Amino acid sequence: MARIARLAVRLAILPAVPLVAAVPTAAFEMNEDRLVDLSHPFDDRTIYWPTARAFTLERVAHGETPGGWWYAANEFCAAEHGGTHLDAPIHFSATGEGAAEVPLRRLIGPAVVVDIAERAAGDADTALTVADLDAFEARHGRIPAGAVVLVRTGWAARWPDRRRYLGDDTPGDASRLHFPGVGRDAAVRLVERGVDAVGIDTASIDPGQSRTFEAHRVLAAGNVPVLENLASLDALPPSGAHVVALPMKIARGSGGPLRAIAVLP
């Protein structure tokens, strides 16, 4: 019970009352207009890395059974890394946590939204810098330990146009991609700040032209999970919202499909 109450407090949805009294009645009351879906749907238009297996859904049953009741069931198959998804630290660190091992506390927390969309609109290869983080903190205060930092580039508006979103739509070729990301030094700063997770509304936390994936490597070395292909970051304030980002719990997985939401203040 105490654990549930602490989670509810973190989501800022409980009044300041004794824990025991709060849990039964108010712990999970959320108004629909305070919830923002940060995930793209998985379907035949879902964007995957050019070299990855795309999402497929095969209908197994869909209709009335001989017994007279309705029954529907499907089978799906896809790569771990595509659509709105989690990059577990093991994706780029041999000693990092796997998808099933990432602590829930790292996937639920106060959202900090750093917006570089205006610059990205004129430069598809731009990356979040330390100067961007300094400017954000000068205006909104220090990024707190335990925050989930979300980088808004504006790229979600291009979904699901693969060519506009990735910068190129050549099957099997990832050498000509162009989209914004996070620079190495900014990733180092975020690890130093003790953030719990970092997310972005593009196909990768590294810019599309990256060949060394330094942001991935820095964050993975710090056991910081990454959330990619997020949606609707423009609906969130710079601070005050809370994120709940729960991936499929794949044992020995390096990542997996993600349903992420934000709870507005």
How far, in whole angstroms, is CA 114 from its chain's centroid?
Answer: 14
40 is catalytic: no
CA distance 102 to 100: 6
From the list 40, 85, 91, 242, the catalytic residue is 91
Quick one: CA dihedral 132, 135, 140, 144, positive or negative? positive
DSSP string, the chain: -HHHHHHHHHTT-S-SS-HHHHHHHHTT---GGGEEE--PPPSTT--B-TTSPPPEEEEEEEEE-TTS-EEEEEEEE--SSBSSEEE-GGGT-TTS--TTTS-GGGTEEEEEEEE-HHHHHH-TT-EE-HHHHHHHHHHH-PPPTT-EEEEE-SGGGGTT-HHHHHS---TT--TT----EE-HHHHHHHHHHT-SEEEESSS-SS-TT-SS-HHHHHHHHTT--EEES---GGGS-SEEEEEEEEE---TT-SEEEEEEEEE--
Which sequence positions are flagged as catalytic? 91
